[in-house]
């Protein structure tokens, strides 16, 4: 049991005579916010006293008198308005460290009641190359999988591929009309990506050509409205001022839309070849949609093409997953659920949940104006239908207790409706959760794009990170009196640092927030980065090399941890908080809690490293104790990073 839960468990029965449910009060026992107060603090006395009409300090004192933690705590003090501060006995901490040292799981308990958890993440559209937009889902989702798996739950990391949508119609149409056979034979996926891009571009071209005059007209009419209202508006009238501001705002966004539309159009008109293609295929958008429809209806030719393309596309994205060290337990894309969609809609209709509205089949929910559309006017199903069929499959076939959707925050409304629909449909036992996350931004605070405005490919992003890391590795090693890394090693370290940097930078932010992507910061050797933590690990390994210690023997030996310096105690306590940290990460699936703890651990280690010499320590018992602390720190860092799919190296 980790230190925090030891305190909580001791407190739990004491609440019996005060409240029915102690849980919220036990939550109020947490790490001390300032180490001068002690190791942990309890804040429940104030709110509880209020509820009971007592004096908070008296109540806190009552608790302190009853708590039986003499073996564990050196002191329990009531402070301020009624805080209880706990400080552990060093003997108890060192004993716990002894247990941790002997435990392969580093004192992280296995879940008492393992659950079956589906983590739905990554889910790229296979018809186009992966880009930064897929980074967060992939990295966060994979981390969640690793952590819940470590806790002993049955986990299915499922890549719900977009492999059945309109994009496939586009590449099929492109294949039939614009294929460069030679390129396709040499690099099929690149050629398919080119075809997708081309068809998309030409479709958009026609669409935008129609929209541009509409946009212009809208802007004109709004501008006219603006001048008119400006003239007659009373400048003191707040409502009117606000209305004017709104119009101005609308005009600005329309102008932006117009600008981007004109950009896209001129990209085509600027190229004689593209323009000729555009003119030659005025109906391209409709025709591409028809290819999709044919595919969905089971057209032999299209189905054969789809079957030919799909493995190629999957192989391409697998390459990216390979570089990221991401593996899935299941890859059940949209196409897999295709056969069940009609049944789903029929069932919804039969249960009176779905009804026809404006030509589409919809499920309505009380608080929502927008319907949940399960079948479009043209008969096609939507991702809403697929998601419902998927829930059914996951519950019926996989016996899922919980499904976590690691998906962009922008889809929160979809999930709200999906979950409500699923519950009404009968799946009200399962824990459905949208693990939402924010956007990766560029320096301009707009979604991260290349200078030319294209989305950044994930593969090239990883590539660049490794290259930049290699640069740093070279500089670092060359600066040493005698460089110690050979070519292979340098490259291995560069990959570990480069990939680690991207992942860590993503995970260290609260997943709900947007964050700004910054190469310099994420690859910094100092500060809250993967590199810094990996470096701490390498330094520890350096110590073991220097003293020529056998780490395995150390774990089985009879040595014990002793505290001779504050830094040792601080490090020890920090190490013992590993289990508590994992617990709180899983509580709301927030990997940034883990990165923060790892960073603190690395910091605690460097303080220890600076103050407590290992190699030159003359006292054998102290030296051994320090070696144990080093070993534990290394293991905890290695394990912690591994839970995020980040590697370590004993030299760097």
Partner RNA sequence: GCCCCGGUAGCUCAGCUGGAUAGAGCAUCGGUCUUCUAAACCGAGGGUCGCAGGUUCGAAUCCUGCCCGGGGUGCCA
Under rule CB under 7 A, which residues in 413-472 are in contact with RNA? 413-414, 438-439, 441, 445, 472
How many residues are recorded in the chain? 652
Using the contact rule CB under 7 A, the part of the chain among 102-110, 238-246, 306-314, 634-642 near RNA is 238-246
* C-alpha–C-alpha distance, residues 67 and 12, integer Å: 10
Q: Applying CB under 7 A, does 521 fall inside the site for RNA?
A: yes
Among 547, 554, 560, 642, binds RNA (CB under 7 A): 547
Nearer to RNA, 28 or 462 (CB): 28
Among 326, 345, 362, 400, binds RNA (CB under 7 A): 362
Among 328, 532, 578, 589, binds RNA (CB under 7 A): 532
Among 70, 270, 616, 618, binds RNA (CB under 7 A): 616
Site for RNA in 332-361 (CB under 7 A): 334, 357-360
CB 633 within 8 A of CB 540: yes
Among 512, 550, 556, 619, binds RNA (CB under 7 A): 512
Q: Applying CB under 7 A, does 612 fall inside the site for RNA?
A: yes
Coil, helix or strand for 233?
A: coil
User: x-or-dash pattern for RNA, window 566-595, by CB under 7 A?
Assistant: ------------------x--xx-x-x---
Coil, helix or strand for 460?
A: helix
Site for RNA in 139-158 (CB under 7 A): none
Q: What are phi and psi of 157, to 5 degrees?
A: -80, 115
How many residues in the shown chain lie near RNA by CB under 7 A?
A: 108
CB 284 within 8 A of CB 203: yes
CA distances to 70, 92, 93, 457, 611 from 560, rounded to whole Å, are 22, 12, 11, 51, 19
Q: Applying CB under 7 A, does 183 fall inside the site for RNA?
A: no
Using the contact rule CB under 7 A, the part of the chain among 61-69, 215-223, 243-251, 275-283 near RNA is 243-251
CB 31 within 8 A of CB 577: yes
* C-alpha–C-alpha distance, residues 5 and 569, integer Å: 19
* C-alpha–C-alpha distance, residues 585 and 428, integer Å: 25
CB 169 within 8 A of CB 499: no
- How large is the angle between the packed helices 166-178 and 284-297, nearest 10 degrees? 110
Q: Applying CB under 7 A, does 473 fall inside the site for RNA?
A: yes
Nearer to RNA, 351 or 545 (CB): 545
The residues, ordered by sequence, that sit 6+ positions from 201 with a Cβ below 8 Å of its Cβ are: 264, 267, 268, 274
Q: Applying CB under 7 A, does 3 fall inside the site for RNA?
A: no
Q: Applying CB under 7 A, does 61 fall inside the site for RNA?
A: no
Annotate 112-138 with b (16+ C-beta within 10 A) or e (fewer).
eeebbbbbbbbbbbbbbbbbbbbbbbb
Site for RNA in 197-216 (CB under 7 A): none
Nearer to RNA, 34 or 182 (CB): 34
The first and second tokens of residue 157, run together, are 């990391």
First-to-final CA distance of the chain:
35
The residues, ordered by sequence, that sit 6+ positions from 557 with a Cβ below 8 Å of its Cβ are: 624
Q: Applying CB under 7 A, does 528 fall inside the site for RNA?
A: yes
Among 13, 322, 426, 527, binds RNA (CB under 7 A): 527
Among 113, 350, 452, 526, binds RNA (CB under 7 A): 526
Among 214, 327, 613, 621, binds RNA (CB under 7 A): 613
Q: Applying CB under 7 A, does 196 fall inside the site for RNA?
A: no
Q: Applying CB under 7 A, does 541 fall inside the site for RNA?
A: yes
User: x-or-dash pattern for RNA, window 376-395, by CB under 7 A?
Assistant: xxx-x-xx--x---------
């Amino acid at each position: 049991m980790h230190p925090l839960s030891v305190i909580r468990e001791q407190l739990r029965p004491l609440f019996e005579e005060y409240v029915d449910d102690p849980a919220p009060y036990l939550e109020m026992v947490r790490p001390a916010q300032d180490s001068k107060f002690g190791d942990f603090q309890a804040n429940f006395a104030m709110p509880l006293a209020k509820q009971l009409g007592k004096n908070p300090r008296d109540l806190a004192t009552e608790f302190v008198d009853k708590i039986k933690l003499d073996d564990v705590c050196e002191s329990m003090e009531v402070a301020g308005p009624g805080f209880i501060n706990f400080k552990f006995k060093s003997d108890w901490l060192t004993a716990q460290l002894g247990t941790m040292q002997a435990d392969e799981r580093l004192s992280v308990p296995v879940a008492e009641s393992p659950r079956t958890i589906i983590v739905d993440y990554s889910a790229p559209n296979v018809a186009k190359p992966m880009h930064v937009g897929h980074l967060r889902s992939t990295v966060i989702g994979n981390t969640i999988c690793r952590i819940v798996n470590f806790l002993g739950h049955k986990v299915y990391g499922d890549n719900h591929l977009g492999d059945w949508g309109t994009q496939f119609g586009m590449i099929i149409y492109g294949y039939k009309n614009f294929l460069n056979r030679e390129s396709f034979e040499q690099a099929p996926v690149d050629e398919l990506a080119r075809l997708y891009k081309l068809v998309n571009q030409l479709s958009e071209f026609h669409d935008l050509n129609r929209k541009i005059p509409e946009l212009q007209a809208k802007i004109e009419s709004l501008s006219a409205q603006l001048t008119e209202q400006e003239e007659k508006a009373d400048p003191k009238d707040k409502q009117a001022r606000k209305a004017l501001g709104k119009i101005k705002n609308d005009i600005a966004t329309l102008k932006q839309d117009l600008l981007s539309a004109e950009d896209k159009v001129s990209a085509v008109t600027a190229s004689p070849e593209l323009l000729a293609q555009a003119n030659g295929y005025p109906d391209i958008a409709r025709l591409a949609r028809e290819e999709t429809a044919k595919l969905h209806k089971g057209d032999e030719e299209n189905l054969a093409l789809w079957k030919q393309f799909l493995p190629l596309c999957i192989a391409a994205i697998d390459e990216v997953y390979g570089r990221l060290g991401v593996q899935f337990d299941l890859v059940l894309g949209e196409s897999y659920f295709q056969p069940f969609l009609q049944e789903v809609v029929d069932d919804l209709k039969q249960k009176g949940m779905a009804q026809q509205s404006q030509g589409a089949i919809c499920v309505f929910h009380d608080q929502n104006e927008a319907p949940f559309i399960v079948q479009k006017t043209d008969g096609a199903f939507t991702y809403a239908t697929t998601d419902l069929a998927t829930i059914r499959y996951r519950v019926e076939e996989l016996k899922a207790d919980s499904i976590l959707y690691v998906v962009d925050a922008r889809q929160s409304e979809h999930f709200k409706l999906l979950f409500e629909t699923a519950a009404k449909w009968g799946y009200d036992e399962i824990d459905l959760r949208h693990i939402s996350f924010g956007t990766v931004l560029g320096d301009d605070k707009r979604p991260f794009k290349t200078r030319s405005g294209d989305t950044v490919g994930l593969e090239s992003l990883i590539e660049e990170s490794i290259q930049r890391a290699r640069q740093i590795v070279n500089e670092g090693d060359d600066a040493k009196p005698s460089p110690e890394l050979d070519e292979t090693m340098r490259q291995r370290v560069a990959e570990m640092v480069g990939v680690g940097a991207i992942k860590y930078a993503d995970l260290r932010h609260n997943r709900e927030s947007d964050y700004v992507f910054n190469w310099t910061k994420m690859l910094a050797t100092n500060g809250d980065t993967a590199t810094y933590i990996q470096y701490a690990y390498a330094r520890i390994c350096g110590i073991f090399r220097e003293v020529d210690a056998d780490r395995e023997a150390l774990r089985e030996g009879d040595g014990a941890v002793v505290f001779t310096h504050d830094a040792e105690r601080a490090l020890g306590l920090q190490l013992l908080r590993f289990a508590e940290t994992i617990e709180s990460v899983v509580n709301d699936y927030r990997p940034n809690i883990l990165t923060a703890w790892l960073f603190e651990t690395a910091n605690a280690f460097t303080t220890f490293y600076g103050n407590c010499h290992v190699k030159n320590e003359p006292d054998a018992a102290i030296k051994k104790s320090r070696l144990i602390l080093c070993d534990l720190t290394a293991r905890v860092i290695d394990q912690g990073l591994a839970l995020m799919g980040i590697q370590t190296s004993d030299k760097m």
